Structure 1
Amino acid sequence: MINFNGTIVSEDANILVENRGFLYGDAVFETVKIVNGKILFLEDHYFRLMSSMRVIRMEIPMNFTMEYLEEQILTLVKNNNIESSSRARITVCRNNGGYYLPQDNTVLFLIKTMPLENKEYSLNGQEYEVDLYKDFYVAKQLLSSIKTTNRLINVTGSIYAHENGLDNCILLNDSKNVVEALQGNIFMLIGGRLITPPVSEGCLNGVMRKQILELAKKIEGIEVFEEIISPFDLQKADELFVTNVIKGIQPITKYRKKEFSVETSKVLVMLLNDSLGLV
């Protein structure tokens, strides 16, 4: 079952024939993690969604409060009996009608949920190899920092990674600087400096990125920076890792011929679980 515009319906319901998110990518979305009937980082997700809707000139309904969004997600999670640990994606589209120019800026939404195996965040201990994806580049603009349904660079990059036996790829912007990974923000530890690209470089303004920037400040001997990262910097790094709300932290163990430590990633996962009361 899914939640379509406030009504729980079968996933077989035909809702895409005139849907603008499907036809034109005229939609934004958020993916959240639910643990024990609670949406993690709800406020951050809600305000990022509202900001994204404003950027693309969607009309925000009066009833679309944080409490309303929370109720809609949790009602569906309860209905699907996955309150213990699950993920939910809420997609907000402009209403049907029009071509490139919409008939109006009012919206509809769709929520889909899936169970997750674990409540707490944990590290994948297996080898995790990445490389650069250079077929297409991310534009340094505001649209790149929000979660729209136009993710073709992530799709084609994922196909490239699969075809080349990689676990992930690192995206570059039109200045040929590091932006992020296909499925999350990227962090680089070099010496005692933990660095992630600034949002102005075109990276997603990630919710987990925000948490890690704050948690890392609690680790003795580490200073945190938002700075431009060159591809040449990656092979000088002591550690590289990717962050997103569902996975938490994914250490990169190999980039080209360079192998990396995962010690800081381990510490950050402990701090993250502790901050959420998951340990």
Structure 2
Amino acid sequence: MTISRDEIQKSATAYHTVGDVEMVNVDGVSCAVWRAGSGEKTLVMIHGNSACKEVFFNQMQAMSESGYNCLAIDLPGHGGTSDAASPETQYTIGGYALLIKRVLDALEVTNYTVLGWSLGGHIGLEMAGRGFDLAGLMITGTPPCGPGPAEVMDAFLPVEAGAVTMAAEATDAQLQAYAKAVYGTLDPLPEFFVDAARRTDGIARATMGANIIAGEEGCHQRTVAAGWAKPMAVGHGRLDPFISFEYLQSVNFGNLFDNEIHVFENSGHAPFLECPDEFNTFVSRFLKAVYA
């Protein structure tokens, strides 16, 4: 079972209780950008592998109503954004980071804070490492690791459902199992989030995975985490089946918000969905510190 870009765009409208979605064309890719709120204090949200911008619907509403300019962007090959024009270069962490910067440049967005989940967090670390105009970075479900296989193997737990993240082709049963693992304690699991995995271009998963393992490009993420001078917040769901908390604790964060990793005790890989009120409080405190 596959879901087209048009189909996922139509289904996504149910989540757009605030703001509007606009298309921004950069580098041959038509990027879907959900915007809400206004002002100079900007929060940019980047979703994970085989997901979409609507996973942040709770944060889009809460943070825009709290006075922040909020943007959530679909990565190429995901959600309402078109597939990559140049898969080998755009379906990589570095390629994603550069494309997001160009989208933000086109929208004249500067001095923004990034909230990156899972793959989105790795993209955020790449953006920080490249010296992009971030005011702060929050990551969740993201152990800084790689490029190259050694750290990646230590950072992630062996979960059968996780094999989908690097697979060009996956059965519908595999995608359903992956979504259930990703969204953890959500019960029932909204079919829309499964559809987001179905919509994702399998070439995006395979290309990104091969690129990370090859280890030939991209910032060394542990070095970025240790050396980045701006504030960085780190979240972790205690029930996350994918991430090694032991590994995450071994990472040196040079300017860690609250001087500790914030653990969401009753959440898995997606605390912004599984415990949105607690997560939003964490985001709000961080943004106030960044823009103080």
TM-score (norm 2): 0.26
Q: Which has the higher strand share?
A: 1
Higher RCO (Cα < 8 Å, 6 or more apart): 2
Q: Which has the higher helix share?
A: 2
TM-score (norm 1): 0.27
